[in-house]
Chains A and B, each alone.
Chain A
Amino acid sequence: MADFIQALLGHYNNWAFILLLMIGFYAMIAKNNLIKKVIGMSIFQTAIILFYVSMAVKKNSTIPILDHGHGAVEHAIDVAAYASPLPHVLMLTAIVVGVATLGVALAIIQKIHRTYDTIEEDEIMEIIAQ
């Protein structure tokens, strides 16, 4: 039983990202306002980034920048002392592409508002149905 509780507590980061994923997913489907949908999409995206970043953590390690890293390295590098850099790189690109897609989404929302004069989904549906 104690092992089970400890295993659950050891995974509390996973709970957070699953909850965020659920919040974002719910908002993308159920929210009526288009901006709220976009916020939900951003939350979904950050949840995935959180998952990747938390995968890269190593016990008792430090940030992925080498100490005294000028010129030739005499001493052997201890791999376990640095967090994995690869997930960080992937997520860095994801964040910057995320703001670009966010810009495009908001531009489309403004264009929708110009055409239909509303950004509520049900009102747009009514106007289209007429």
Chain B
Amino acid sequence: MEVNSWVLWQFDVLILLMVLVCAVVALQLRDLVASAISFGAYSFFMCLLWTLMLAVDVAFTEAAVGAGVSTVLFLGTALHIRRRAKD
């Protein structure tokens, strides 16, 4: 791994894996509320990844918007409609 020795690639790979896992889990869960929470976790890991990629402004926005407000909006909608999804 000489190519990326200037970055902590162990963290990078770990967070990338967590992002992928959270994305799949958010799509596979049948409970929409759990799905929304998992999507919030996905956004937060994405925010960590962008901090690692030196995009602090983007990461800050994602932490406030993606992990904060989007999750609440998803929760608000999920509690208003039938909570169980078929797939």
Would you call A32 and B53 a contact (CB within 8 A)? Answer: no
**Extra A-B contacts (5), CB below 8 Å, given A32-B86, A35-B32, A35-B81:** A16-B20, A39-B74, A50-B50, A88-B55, A99-B73
Q: Give A88 to B53 CA distance when docked, in angstroms.
A: 11
Main secondary structure of the interface of A (DSSP, over half): helix
B contact residues, range: 35 or more
B82 to chain A: closest CB distance in Å?
A: 7
| Chain B neighbourhood of A13, CB < 8 A | 12, 16
Would you call A91 and B58 a contact (CB within 8 A)? Answer: yes
Known: A12-B16, A31-B27, A113-B80. A95 touches B65 (CB 8 A): yes
A124 at the interface (CB under 8 A from B): no
Partner of B74, one of A57, A59, A106: A106
Known: A12-B13, A113-B80. A36 touches B54 (CB 8 A): no
| Chain A neighbourhood of B82, CB < 8 A | 113, 118-119
Closest to A37 in B: B27
Q: Give A56 to B66 CA distance when docked, in angstroms.
A: 21
Partner of A39, one of B16, B39, B80: B39
A80 at the interface (CB under 8 A from B): no
Would you call B54 and A110 a contact (CB within 8 A)? Answer: no
Q: What are 14 inter-chain pairs, A to B, with CB distance below 8 A?
A: A12-B16, A23-B20, A35-B74, A35-B85, A39-B26, A50-B46, A59-B6, A88-B57, A92-B61, A96-B61, A99-B66, A106-B73, A106-B76, A110-B80
